[in-house]
Chains A and B, each alone.
Chain A
């Protein structure tokens, strides 16, 4: 049986695997932004207790191997909260997202802190409240500065998502190994999975670079020559 016909026969599963992988990545990146950005703001502008709590969070999620986090949530935290019925896909996406938020918060924090103090001073001198200044002046600049570094989270997340294999999420790696165990064709199938990962990686980065160019401002941030 040649590899191509195996791939064609299994294509519905492969496509479902790709969809699950992309779903994990997109949901996790979304959670990462939704949590990471407020965390970054809290670390820069928050009170001491706020900064302390965020610091603990970041320390925890960056301090543990992703597989350990995954098992902790899958076997411990979700069942412990009476959420034992939650599908593995959801647990995987949440863990990747919570962990991503810890990393992303530091990308956003660095970007916010890189904005010169004068921007806030000028905004306040015009009568803007601090929150208006953050929304209208600081964040639009910080997000542009953060984007190139943040883009790096996409390939990280994509490759990390494969660990969800360990809790049985039917993502690309899980599907691949199922095909291998059914067909006894090993290397060619894993290579095919590798190629798919690389294509997803390349395509996503291409989109992100396009976005970087679209929001580029002459002489500002990463656009500066």
Chain B
């Protein structure tokens, strides 16, 4: 595949918190339109890895490149890169004082400098995309968890990012709400959005992931397509881990 197709390159990321080395040299490349799913036991640095990509956490070592430009050590330009790298959080982090509509609109006005009319149209388009145009005037406290998470996806989408990072987007949701969020994500993947997803949803990983990366103790222990994972006998550790979730794996 063409090198130019690589949207995101992560090279040898290291990160320690105190004595604990959470990330011990992570490298991978993401092509446009790919969905990479990160799975693995809790505390193996998956969320930290995502935060290192958009520099919410500053890695101790290593570099991140977006479309050939270095994101790490980019100084004030980090605000430009963060527009291009969307992020969706486990606890949604919607702006509590703003309606769903204004949550999506805010950064369009304040960061991208759109006119009120432009921003309004864009925000409504993105809310429609996640099926929430009827909820535009509701405040976060009036939304279900699934709706709140979909608003936060719309908020990320509105920036027209090159890639979106999903940090356990359904871990705070019950199964039914999880499904509505996963459906939105699945549709995005089909539309060609480039996505990095940290999740425990094995069904989603199997049906949507271009590649699954199994992280353990701060490194990528095994990686491969969902298909190879199922059939290649070498992927023992990942399969053992997944075995714990067997009922989900079936999907």
A residues at B contact (CB < 8 Å): 118-119, 121-129, 132, 136-137, 140-141, 144, 217-220, 224
Contact = CB atoms under 8 A, between A and B. Distances in A.
Q: How large is the interface on B (under 10, 10 to 19, 20 to 34, 35 or more residues)?
A: 20 to 34
B80 A141 contact: no
Given A127-B81, A127-B107, 9 more contacts: A119-B96, A121-B89, A122-B89, A126-B106, A129-B76, A132-B111, A136-B106, A144-B97, A219-B141
B83 A122 contact: no
| Shortest beta-carbon contacts, A-B, top 9 | A219-B141, A122-B93, A127-B83, A118-B93, A126-B107, A127-B82, A125-B87, A127-B79, A127-B111
Contacts of B93: 118-119, 121-122
Contact of A125 (B82, B91, B96, B139): B82
B45 to A, nearest CB: 18
Contacts of A137: 95, 97, 106
B89 A118 contact: yes
B227 interface: no
Interface of B: 54, 56, 76, 79-83, 85-87, 89, 91, 93-97, 106-107, 110-111, 139-142, 152, 155-156, 159
Contacts of B91: 118
A214 to B, nearest CB: 14
A25 B82 CA distance: 45
Given A127-B79, A128-B107, A220-B141, A140 B97 contact: yes
A148 B56 CA distance: 33
A118 to B, nearest CB: 4
B54 A129 contact: no
B82 A124 contact: yes
B97 A218 contact: no
A136 B107 CA distance: 9
Contacts of B107: 123, 126-128
Given A118-B89, A122-B89, A219-B139, A128 B56 contact: no
Chain A CB within 10 Å — which of B76, B111, B159 has the most?
B111
- Residue among B85, B93, B152 with max Cβ neighbours from chain A (10 Å): B93
B56 A124 contact: yes
B149 to A, nearest CB: 12
25 contacts: A118-B89, A118-B91, A119-B96, A121-B89, A122-B89, A124-B56, A125-B82, A125-B85, A125-B89, A126-B86, A126-B106, A126-B155, A127-B111, A128-B79, A128-B107, A128-B110, A137-B95, A137-B97, A141-B96, A141-B97, A217-B96, A217-B97, A218-B142, A219-B139, A219-B140
Given A126-B83, A127-B83, A128-B110, A219 B142 contact: yes
Contacts of A124: 56, 82
Nearest to A125: B87
B50 to A, nearest CB: 10
A127 B97 CA distance: 19
Nearest to B111: A127
